[in-house]
Amino acid sequence: MRRSGPELWKTLTSVSKSGQKKGRRNTRQPVRPLNRFYRIGSSPMKVEFAGLNAPMRFKEEEGLMAIGEQTEDEIRDSLGGIRKILEEKDTGKKKRNREKLHPMERGFSGTQLVGQKLGAPPPVDGVDFDDFETYCLEVKRTSNMTNVFGRVHTMSALVVTGNGRGLAGYAVGKAPIHRTTTAIINGMGMASRKIFHVELHEGRTIYQDFYAECRNTRVFAQRRPRGFGLTCHPRLIKICEAIGIKDIYVKVEGSTKNYLALTHAFVTGLLNQETHQQLAERKGLHVVEMSPSRHFLPQIVASPISTELKTEETLEALDRLNLDDFYGEGRYPLRKPKALPFFSNLEGHLDARWRKHPFRNQESTMIRLIADNMVPRWTRDARAAWAEQRNERMTTGVEPIPLGIGLSHVVKKKED
């Protein structure tokens, strides 16, 4: 009975329905591309079959089969041919030649797109987002039960985009399973359609400390001085970069892994802020800045335009409240002292600290000696030369030898 190649392979590779359920799919052999290794008709002996691997012969006396002449090299090649092909083929996983990213451009983890800079979103209706920068905060697989398909998985990507000058937007993009990039691109497009504006104090930080919450995520954000930097949750760092906040401290309490709720809470807090001008209008008072770099000299930042300025007599108790207390809604983040490392009270550690104790002033002395130009450089040679020089000056009597209570005696070397 003759069978075709695919039919024969099917006997090796197919699994029955019940076998599939029992997980036999993985134990089956894959279809091997045999023609890559064995060309039909080729053999170590170089047998020539007319019409198969040799030209057709029409003369009777030549015969249908002949053995061709081979050189030594050809024999060796044909014998080692398969091994060579197998060696060339990479065993194991696929090798990827990914370009190495600069540490500043890397994302949160490995080579994943999450956390990397993704560039500007595409233009919408003639509005281009050239100066925008996009960050993907999270890619996850979500699932939904349907009565037709059963459990349907979807990729969902949380994307933030912003121009670093107060404009920003965030959205969740979705795509079918395994289509991570599509989900991110969808998210980019949607984020660029949901742009909001955040007022920034001095173009670098928030106007006031705020508390915001979403689901189980609670966010305490604090205004910080110039040059403080971003001290917050890594996802919030990316959001701050997109918006253009440069100095902030944020403490997140509750769920720190629900990134959508985190983003939502933070952005809500930012949008609920009021500028100093608005505060002045609302309260009818001057908003005065007292900067520590100016020794707390009061300087008016905003004064009411449309409302009347209040006087001391018309002030209410609420107006006299400290501004920082006023905005906190009575909530403060939990402040935990940093736990000491486990070794801090071990005997060996304490012993080592005690051994280092005599040298605790060495560094400041070094700095002082170099600053006073006593020792040109803090190398062994330079210090030895300096000591030599001083020794000479003292032995010749140019400089007095320091003697007295608490100083060691000068003992002359015994001459042997």
Partner 1 sequence: MLKLKPKILSLSRISTEIRFSSQWIKASSSSTSDDINVEKLFVEKDVQKLLTDLTEIDLEHKVFRPRRTSIQQRSHFALMTEERLEKTRERMRDEARRFLQFVPVKEPREESIQILAKDAELKDFDSSKFIFTDITFDATDQDRTVVVREPNGTLRTANPEEHDRMNRTYYQKPNRPINPPPLFTDPYLKDALDKNEHEFVLDWACWFYEPDDPAYVRLSQLIFDRINESNKFYVITSTRHFGPFTFYLALNDNIPKLLNYFGGLGKLADCANLVRLQKAVRPDWRVTIAQGDSDEKIVKDFMKQNGRFRDQITDLLAFINTGKVKSEQELEKNSGVRERVGGRLDNRKARITSANIRGDDGPLGDLSKEYSVKVVKSEGSGDAEGIERKVEGRGKGRWRSRQRNNDDDKKD
199 in contact with partner 1 (CB under 8 A): no
Q: Pick from 74, 128, 202, 351 the residue near partner 1 by CB under 8 A.
A: 202
Listed ranges 118-126, 253-261, 306-314, 332-340: which one lies at the site for partner 1 (CB under 8 A): 306-314
3-class DSSP state of 39: coil
What is the separation of C-alpha 213 from the centre of its chain, rounded to a whole number of angstroms? 25
Binding mask 354-393 for partner 1 (x = CB under 8 A): --------------x--xxx--------------------
Among 224, 240, 235, which residue's Cα sits nearest to residue 262?
Answer: 235
336 in contact with partner 1 (CB under 8 A): no
287 in contact with partner 1 (CB under 8 A): yes
Q: Pick from 271, 309, 346, 382 the residue near partner 1 by CB under 8 A.
A: 309
Per the CB < 8 A criterion, the answer to whether 158 and 170 are in contact is yes
Q: What is the 3-state secondary structure (H, E, C) of 142-196?
A: EEEEECCCEEEEEEEEEEEEECCCCEEEEEEEEEECCCHHHHHHHHHHHHCCCEE
Q: Pick from 31, 45, 315, 385 the residue near partner 1 by CB under 8 A.
A: 315
Region class of 414: left (phi > 0), else alpha (psi between -120 and 50), else beta: beta
State the minimum distance, in angstroms, from the CB of residue 285 to partner 1. 4
Nearer of residues 104 and 305 to partner 1, judged by Cβ: 305
Listed ranges 76-84, 113-121, 314-322, 385-393: which one lies at the site for partner 1 (CB under 8 A): 314-322
Using alpha carbons only, give the angle 54, 60, 64 rounded to the nearest 5 degrees: 30
State the minimum distance, in angstroms, from the CB of residue 403 to partner 1. 6
298 in contact with partner 1 (CB under 8 A): yes
Binding mask 389-408 for partner 1 (x = CB under 8 A): --------------xx----
How far apart (Å, rounded) are the C-alpha atoms in residues 210 and 245?
15
Q: Pick from 133, 198, 224, 233 the residue near partner 1 by CB under 8 A.
A: 224
Phi, psi for residue 284 in degrees, rounded to 5? 70, 35
136 beta partners = 159
H or E element that contains 264: helix 259-271
Q: Pick from 277, 328, 375, 394 the residue near partner 1 by CB under 8 A.
A: 277
228 in contact with partner 1 (CB under 8 A): yes
Transcribe 350-402 into DSSP letters. Answer: HHHHHHHGGGTTHHHHHHHHHHTTSSSSSSHHHHHHHHHHHHHHHHTTSSPPP
According to DSSP, the β-strands at 248-254 and 230-231 are: parallel
How far apart (Å, rounded) are the C-alpha atoms in residues 160 and 168?
7
Distances (CA, A) of 106 to 101, 119, 184, 274: 6, 14, 17, 35
Q: Pick from 215, 294, 331, 356 the residue near partner 1 by CB under 8 A.
A: 294
295 in contact with partner 1 (CB under 8 A): yes
b/e sequence 295-323, b meaning 16+ C-beta within 10 Å: eeeeeeebbbeeeeeeeeeeeeeeeeeee
Listed ranges 233-241, 264-272, 295-303, 347-355: which one lies at the site for partner 1 (CB under 8 A): 295-303
Let me know how long the chain is. 416
Residues 6+ apart with CB under 8 A from 177: 141, 153, 154, 155
297 in contact with partner 1 (CB under 8 A): yes
Q: Pick from 37, 296, 332, 378 the residue near partner 1 by CB under 8 A.
A: 296
How far apart (Å, rounded) are the C-alpha atoms in residues 336 and 210?
20
Binding mask 230-259 for partner 1 (x = CB under 8 A): ------------------------------
Nearer of residues 179 and 310 to partner 1, judged by Cβ: 310
Q: Pick from 223, 233, 238, 246 the residue near partner 1 by CB under 8 A.
A: 223
DSSP state of 124: B
Nearer of residues 55 and 400 to partner 1, judged by Cβ: 400
227 in contact with partner 1 (CB under 8 A): yes
136 in contact with partner 1 (CB under 8 A): no
State the minimum distance, in angstroms, from the CB of residue 131 to partner 1. 18
Binding site for partner 1 (CB under 8 A): 202, 208, 223-228, 274, 276-298, 300-303, 305-307, 309-312, 315, 319, 322-323, 368, 371-373, 403-404
